[in-house]
Structure 1
């Protein structure tokens, strides 16, 4: 039998209000013996407070909705872990939902989180939303009626947001290939409008321009940020005979290209120097180990939580932060200068 406050009150011969006050360590005019009796009954029958009722009474759930587009992506898995850890430290819990990178699902999931009474939302938006254009993005973000932080994406709106510097990442990845003697460099970035896709492409362009290498549209390939995306484009890249290096703007894309080549008895690394993006932990397992852009997921998660908590505690001024990334050099880039 589930023990309720009403049942405890009946067993102790007091009112429900008295039980509530005692179990919440509030002042109440009853004897010490009666207080102990109430606590003993609760302990004996393993009383658990009704969290929904407590949340309703306090107008607070101590729960934060965490919305991500692809929970199978190691980057998002690591981000969820970092956010959950930081929330737990301050007595909050993460209610995580996966949108499958589908905006219609994203809308449904956020509505459900609001209806469940979460105190705020950490939103990693879908590429599907951003592909619909800036007006659609703005309209959707304006429709969210509870405190939230836009995570790992950008917006011109005056809202709380935090992102990683994709322009810097695109530049660093391309520059290291150039420094190793590569001039014919293909880039595999996200589809038109995808989150951070254009920034990474702009960083690529900047690195080329610095050393006078012409930018060629034919070296730009677009795909979904997943294994299937890389799997689909590698055959097209191979038709460009001069290409010696490929910058994949997402590690999953790179893994898809590796998979396709393996199926045809080829080793991608024998044909191209490669730089990835996200620096998944498995990059150190491949032979050769993979040079990649590392994003500080722990810092992204921690700062996201801090910005949201500032909003929850009355700071109405929106914050916008951009975190640096760094290049992790390994063995997947051949030096053509030697």
Structure 2
């Protein structure tokens, strides 16, 4: 319906025309739920507000959106905040501002936030996606601004992306453990299906296969990314599988695994060697300090916004660049 009016939008959204006007012009507070209803009605009716509003879209706002998946229970939120810091630091140098939004690791929430950004006057969007397949994003993003994905890649996505090389870092860590004589190495991870988790598992397997060793599926354990889950999985691997080393693919589960080892008076690394993922201050002050795979979080933010601003300047052309940054295996006293 190309001749839809503001009254048609109001009727479909079951709100007043004044409410639609306030949503379009941001002249009064409107709840997020109501905004989404209005935007969905506009999209369904193919409603174009007016030439002035359309003209606004052609002007630069110098505002960039960022959506990251942070959970209150996961201390690895520091990783995404470090990325945001890298983005904002670079943006300020270029005269831009940042709007940060949290999807709480929930896809539906992420989609709602993307739609809200679609209605705002932003120049570009950076997203750490929660969706596992790019088909989930069909008709979600606006074509009026460029998008860069960070940290993760939904299956089938070929657009601009900035990642850390989780696979290579994990491979190097497991290879080192194997060279030290460990063969029963437990692998603890949060839910698989995200490229970050899957790549770390690939690195684990590749190190074994390269040494001509078989991969024991009983030593690979997946669970909720929480302290309690890390504790219980470490208990299973140490008590039942008699592992001599643990590789934990995220920060919060590393805390849980270490808590189990401490509670049971198991010495690191004499009884069980330990490697975590991501480098946090607490890992440096344990006894002994914990070996880790360190991700270049600040640099991920810098590279992502640099790529996004390049797309904004070009305003057209291919948008399929993939930047993969090296991780660093930091060896400390836990192996």
Q: Is the 8 A contact 1:257 1:268 kept in 2?
A: no
Which residue of the partner structure matches residue 213 of structure 1?
213
Tell me: CA distance 1:248–1:305, structure 2 relative to 1, closer, same or farther (3 Å).
same
Q: Which residues of structure 1 form unaligned runs of 5+?
A: 1-52, 334-338
Q: Which moved more, 1:69-78 or 1:204-213?
A: 69-78
Secondary structure of the equivalent of 1:254? helix
Which residue of the partner structure matches residue 317 of structure 1?
318
TM-score (norm 2): 0.75
Tell me: CA distance 1:274–1:104, structure 2 relative to 1, closer, same or farther (3 Å).
same
Which residue of the partner structure matches residue 140 of structure 1?
137
Q: Which moved more, 1:274-283 or 1:230-239?
A: 230-239
RMSD: 2.3
| 1:261 shift after superposition | 4.8
Q: Is the 8 A contact 1:65 1:122 kept in 2?
A: yes
Q: Is the 8 A contact 2:57 2:121 kept in 1?
A: no
CA distance in 2, matches of 1:241, 1:149: 42
Which residue of the partner structure matches residue 14 of structure 1?
none
TM-score (norm 1): 0.74
Which of 48, 72, 91 is the equivalent residue of 2:95? 91
| 1:259 shift after superposition | 3.4
The correspondence of residues 101-116 of structure 1 with structure 2, limited to 5 A, is 101-116=105-120
| 1:66 shift after superposition | 1.1
Q: Is the 8 A contact 1:124 1:151 kept in 2?
A: yes
Which residue of the partner structure matches residue 332 of structure 2?
330
| 1:329 shift after superposition | 0.6
Tell me: CA distance 1:307–1:87, structure 2 relative to 1, closer, same or farther (3 Å).
same
The alignment covers a number of residue pairs equal to 272
| 1:141 shift after superposition | 6.1
Tell me: CA distance 1:240–1:212, structure 2 relative to 1, closer, same or farther (3 Å).
farther
| 1:228 shift after superposition | 4.3
Asked which structure has the greater CA Rg, the reply is: 1
Which digits, 9 at most, give the CA deviation of each residue in 1:64-95, with x for residues without a partner? Answer: 11111116522112111111111111011111
Q: Is the 8 A contact 2:124 2:308 kept in 1?
A: yes
Q: Which residues of structure 2 form unaligned runs of 5+?
A: 1-52
The correspondence of residues 249-264 of structure 1 with structure 2, limited to 5 A, is 249-262=249-262, 264=263
2:118 matches 1:118 = no
